[in-house]
A and B are shown apart, each in its own frame.
Chain A
Amino acid sequence: DAGVTQSPTHLIKTRGQQVTLRCSPKSGHDTVSWYQQALGQGPQFIFQYYEEEERQRGNFPDRFSGHQFPNYSSELNVNALLLGDSALYLCASSLASGVSDTQYFGPGTRLTVL
């Protein structure tokens, strides 16, 4: 049973650049949520995708956008990178209609903005 996978594992960018992070959900899951975890903090919710639409959004600027594909995989795009965007970006998948809506996390992408 394949778990949640994310790519790349590490990324280094400079201020002003754009980045795309990718996530494949756990087999059988149809919902993908993205979180940002800064050093020493808990993960912060960015947004959630279901049926290829953004279903809920946290307090993140429009520079953060996403997409979900028909195979349920998802991308997170961040434009005009700032130093403060340096963090671990976590993808979590779940099943919208399941008995349990437990979210399972991928290993994350560690983004460093210089």
Chain B
Amino acid sequence: RKEVEQDPGPFNVPEGATVAFNCTYSNSASQSFFWYRQDCRKEPKLLMSVYSSGNEDGRFTAQLNRASQYISLLIRDSKLSDSATYLCVVKGDNSWGKLQFGAGTQVVVTP
């Protein structure tokens, strides 16, 4: 079983609509959680950290469910520029742990 699993998509979303997707992680001792965004053939860029209480950054909302070991990302009012691959990232159980990446969920926003 992979340590971080994501639905690869693609999620085809009309402009202005809402899209949500999850990822699951296997290590219950994981301490930090992130969503990174990666455009085609570019480097991953941090979209947002994910906190236990859930957090929002503009049109983006992230949730963490430690009991069920999943993380979610919701994008409201989708823009064409939101088209990208969204990488779910989990950091290990030590203070300087490696990042464990999922394979990514592709989102395609259409006009």
Q: CB within 8 Å of B: which residues of A?
A: 31, 33, 35, 40-45, 48, 50, 55-56, 58, 88, 90, 92, 96, 101-108, 110
Whole-angstrom CA separation of A56 from B43 in the bound complex: 22
Interface centre among A50, A96, A101 (most CB of B within 10 A): A101
Give A3 Cβ to nearest chain B Cβ, in Å: 10
Q: Jot down 17 A-B pairs with beta carbons below 8 A, ordered by A.
A: A33-B98, A33-B99, A35-B99, A42-B4, A44-B101, A48-B96, A56-B96, A56-B97, A56-B98, A88-B41, A90-B44, A92-B99, A102-B46, A102-B49, A105-B43, A105-B45, A108-B43
Q: CB within 8 Å of A: which residues of B?
A: 4, 32, 34, 41-46, 49, 87, 95-104
Are A45 and B98 within 8 A (Cβ)?
A: yes
Are B99 and A45 within 8 A (Cβ)?
A: yes
Contacts of B104 in A (CB 8 A): 42
Given contacts A31-B96, A56-B97, A104-B46, 9 further A-B contacts (CB under 8 A): A33-B98, A35-B99, A35-B101, A43-B99, A56-B96, A92-B99, A105-B44, A106-B43, A110-B41
Q: Which secondary structure dominates where chain A touches chain B?
A: strand
Give B46 Cβ to nearest chain A Cβ, in Å: 6
Whole-angstrom CA separation of A113 from B50 in the bound complex: 37
Give A5 Cβ to nearest chain B Cβ, in Å: 11
Q: What are the 10 closest A-B residue pairs judged by CB atoms, nearest first? A: A42-B101, A45-B98, A105-B43, A42-B103, A43-B101, A107-B43, A105-B44, A42-B102, A41-B103, A108-B43
